[in-house]
Chain A
Amino acid sequence: MADVLERRAVVSGVGQSQVGRRIDRDPLDLTVEASLRAIEHAGLTRDDIDGIATYPGNMDTPAGFSGVGVSELHDALRLNLNWFHGGLESPGQLGSVVNACMAVATGLARHVLCFRTVWEATAQGGGGRAAVTMGGGGGGRGFRAGSFMQWTLPFGAPSAANWIAMMAQRHFHEFGTTREQLAWIAINARANAGLNPHAIYRDPMTLDDYLSVRMISTPLCLYDCDAPADGSTAIIVSAADTAPDLARPPVRVEAVGTALHGRPSWDQFDDLTTMALRDAAAMMWDRTDLSPADVDVAELYDGFSFITLAWLEALGFCAKGEGGPFIDGGERIARDGVLPLNTQGGQLSGGRLHGYGFLHEACTQLWGEGGDRQVVRGGGRLPEVAVAAAGGGPLGASLLLTRS
């Protein structure tokens, strides 16, 4: 195996702001709150931070998708940076964290403050239904769609809900997957959210609740779609040799996966049932001697429930096409199951923190700081290996993390 440079990186601290629906706070305020908590959690001061990485960087549309870019946080904290990065075109949200790993591995920076801030609950509440982009140009008469959106907007399919729904439908067709099976991604998330005081939706959900809620885009119903939220998540990525300076033994980065070998498209990708997750996951396992059986906890993106099922298959926790039977009944993916899944409630019940929430939770579990929702494995053992993965469609990256 070639030198796996990401092993020179660790996660030294994590922090999260207040999270909720329309909490009426400025997104930069939330970002500063999350950042200062993460810096303190790592045992560092702001003078130690010499890098920033974020996804997607500052953009005005869609409303609330990004409230804060690198520059605003940089200036708010008056940091002296040796390296920084913000951008949309990366292997999903965690591509920014992978970039930070490489920055510390190559010596460009020592401690990189990675963050993702969403403000979609407030932005959509004030500006009408703005959960979907109009191709970067807003809506209204006279508007014309460009780039990828020209191929979907005219047909009334502006949302990833429509695109992912068609991927799920194809999976249902090829493998016999059912709504009654897919439901367990949402039901499991809700059960875990009940143990997370910061989750947005905490009341128990039954299979009947799931099957009777309104449809969004078949086969996806409301409970298959994540909940727009306001909140910020910060992750400090540090050079591994800073471990003696840190507040706690850091979480090690064992391997990352960032590949996209098919076409970068939501409708032209060769296998709509796997999406790019197939390539990212395969690359990650190629960079480690660990295997899926070693994983104690999986935190897998659920912008839509079907994406989690696709990550389960891509990462090899079950065979391709077997995701439905694997999650059916919810026993395998429960906190005391063979593969505890989305232990904070995911984005479905915890709020759409857009990828970073899964990395935050994976580290929290490895540190044993999960409180009521802490996973304990057989024999009272705390989790030692976790996967955090984010993205769907042609965007995706995964990280394999281990306890020091």
Chain B
Amino acid sequence: MSDAGTQEQAAKPFRLLPRVTPENEHFWRGGEHGELRFLRCRECGYWLHPPGPVCPIELSRDLEVAAASGRATVHTFTVNHHPWIPGYDPPYVVAIVELPEQEGLRLTTNLVNCEPDDVTIGMPVRVLFDHHDDVWLPLFEPDPDADG
């Protein structure tokens, strides 16, 4: 990493990061390419999350990495007020968002670029990526292009 890159990283708020493995790196590093990536079954089109070795529908092993649209709706959320982790300064919004690609395809994430009081269930959001070291965390923000 360049010195400039190091400084950029150092200026960012601290984040605990996931352990990247061959099984999950498509998800945690997809943001380098601007994509929210999942495993998807080539036979039936089912999206897997978390990733696994086999499609749970018909047990096919014919899986590929595919990019979702990056759009989602807020399934539920909480405004966290408790300082659980040093460096994570409350209040901040934790949400479970659901992706339009498949009913029940959800991520736990943070909602950013909006006031906590303005968050509502059903709100349209879109992905953006927060880069730390070798990980691009998928966060979500209000989607200005969504209908309604």
Contacts and interface: CB of A to CB of B under 8 A. Distances in A.
Interface in A142-173: 143-146, 150-159, 161-162, 165-167, 169-170, 173
A108 interface: no
A216 interface: yes
Interface string A199-239: 00000000000000011111110000000000000000000
A270 interface: yes
Contacts of B108: 151-152, 155, 157, 267
Contact of A217 (B20, B78, B110): B78
A139 interface: yes
A159 B94 CA distance: 12
A160 to B, nearest CB: 11
B76 A170 contact: yes
A129 B80 CA distance: 16
A359 interface: no
Contact of A173 (B19, B83, B121, B139): B121
Nearest to B105: A268
Contact of B78 (A131, A134, A139, A169): A169
Determine the interface band of chain A, counting residues with CB < 8 A from chain B.
Answer: 35 or more
A292 B79 CA distance: 36
Contact of B104 (A143, A155, A158, A268): A268
Which of B79, B96, B137, B139 has the most C-beta atoms of chain A within 10 angstroms of its own C-beta?
A: B96
Which of A143, A153, A154 has the most C-beta atoms of chain B within 10 angstroms of its own C-beta?
A: A154
B61 interface: no
A132 interface: yes
B85 A156 contact: yes
A30 B18 CA distance: 37
Contacts of A146: 18-19
A397 interface: no
B77 A144 contact: no
A272 interface: yes
Given A166-B94, A167-B76, A267-B106, A154 B82 contact: no
Nearest to B83: A129
Given A146-B18, A268-B49, A268-B104, A154 B92 contact: no
Given A143-B16, A272-B76, A155 B81 contact: no
A155 B137 contact: yes
A156 B139 CA distance: 12
A152 B77 CA distance: 13
Which of A157, A165, A170, A173 has the most C-beta atoms of chain B within 10 angstroms of its own C-beta?
A: A157
Given A144-B19, A155-B108, A166 B137 contact: no
B74 to A, nearest CB: 10
B80 A145 contact: no
Given A150-B19, A166-B77, A216 B82 contact: yes
A161 B79 CA distance: 11
Contacts of B83: 129
Contacts of A161: 82
Contacts of A215: 79, 81
Contacts of B16: 134, 139, 143, 145, 153-154
Contacts of A167: 76
Given A139-B85, A159-B84, A272-B96, A169 B17 contact: no
A154 B17 contact: yes
Contacts of B42: none
Nearest to B87: A156
Contact of A216 (B81, B96, B110, B135): B81
A169 B15 contact: no
A146 B18 CA distance: 6
A132 B83 CA distance: 11
Contacts of A162: 78, 80, 94
B24 A150 contact: yes
Interface in B78-127: 78-85, 88, 92, 94-96, 104, 106-110, 121
Nearest to A271: B104
A218 B79 CA distance: 5
Contacts of A216: 80-82
B131 interface: no
B17 A157 contact: no
Given A151-B50, A159-B84, A220-B78, 9 more contacts: A129-B83, A144-B20, A151-B107, A157-B108, A169-B121, A214-B81, A217-B94, A218-B79, A268-B106
Interface of A: 129, 131-132, 134, 139, 143-146, 150-159, 161-162, 165-167, 169-170, 173, 214-220, 267-268, 270, 272
Interface of B: 15-20, 24, 49-50, 75-85, 88, 92, 94-96, 104, 106-110, 121, 135, 137, 139
A-B pairs with lowest CB-CB distance, top 4: A144-B19, A150-B18, A165-B78, A170-B76
